[in-house]
Amino acid sequence: MTTTTFDPQWHIPGPDERLEGGAFVVTGASRGIGRAIALDLARRGASVVLVAKKRAGLEAVLDIIEGFGGQAVAVDVDLGDHEKLVAVADAIGQLHPQINGLVNAAAALGPMTALEWTDLANWRRVIDVNLTGTFAMTRVLMPLLRKAPWASIVNLSAAQGRQGRAWWGAYSAAKFGVESLTQTWAQELEKTEVRINAVDPGPTQTDMRQRAYPGEMPDRNPPPEQILPIFRFLLSPASRGVTGRALNARDFMPE
């Protein structure tokens, strides 16, 4: 997938531009980038379905949203359990007859090791969460996305999904798959109101980044809140017609 640079003609919604009436699903919503996106959507008036594996982290985010009067529900599910995802989609459909956006932000890093020494169980787990989970969640929610007058899917990718790197084995392979999945689905959805794009957030202050680079000073990278402009753009009507792109979050950050 060819990386798309920022177009200065694009309108980037600000943090005060409202999304009342919009419904969004965010996976990986208990921490990091997914958490920041979910909180931003809720602060701007959207109804958010928070999805993650661990209930405790979701409850903490839910408490924050309820504290400022936002609307959200929390769903704890393992994205590797694809049968349960069908039940989750049914439950979401009971709450929202249509949804305007899906953010696939859930991720698993896995061991940083050479492919030769990668355990098959770890390989499957990383592929399951990053690639198969992204596919499965998108697939089960597609009927609700198609019902909306506009809908946007944002898949979190990574630099390792655009250029292979030693020691990143399963994670890199999964993110390459996410890029391909995004492009394929964009072509299949080109005559609908559903668009789909992949975003490389770049180095960001997250727990996953710290695990991958334990010797790196965290404050050298921006916190998730500073890379929100690209998600505000993609998760709004402003990005209609933008689909099948490989985008970089840093290109959307104010200078």
88: domain CATH number? 3.40.50.720
Q: Print pLDDT tens along the chain (255 aa).
A: 557 777 777 888 988 899 999 999 999 999 999 999 999 999 999 999 999 999 999 999 999 999 999 999 999 999 878 789 999 999 999 999 999 999 999 998 888 899 999 999 999 999 999 999 999 999 999 999 999 999 999 999 987 888 888 888 899 999 999 999 999 999 999 999 999 999 999 887 777 777 776 778 878 888 899 999 999 999 999 999 999 999 999 999 887
Active site residues: 171
With respect to residue 6, please indicate whether it lies within any of the assigned structural domains: no
Whether 245 maps to a domain, the answer reads yes
Q: What is the pTM of this model?
A: 0.94
Q: What is the DSSP letter of 243?
A: -
Measuring CA to CA, which residue among 241, 243, 235 is closest to residue 198? 243
Contact status, residue 33 vs residue 26, Cβ threshold 8 Å:
no
Comparing CA positions, the residue from 94, 66, 62 lying closest to residue 76 is 62
Number of domains comprising the chain: 1
Domain that holds residue 44: 23-252
Q: What is the dihedral of CA 158, 164, 165, 166, to 10 degrees?
A: 140
In a domain, 181, yes or no: yes
Residue 1 lies in a domain: no
Bridge partners for 208 per DSSP: none
Measured CA to CA, the distance from residue 246 to residue 235 in angstroms comes to 15
Is residue 183, in this structure, part of any structural domain at all?
yes
Residue 50 falls inside a structural domain: yes
Domain-embedded: residue 2: no
Residue 93 domain-assigned (yes or no): yes
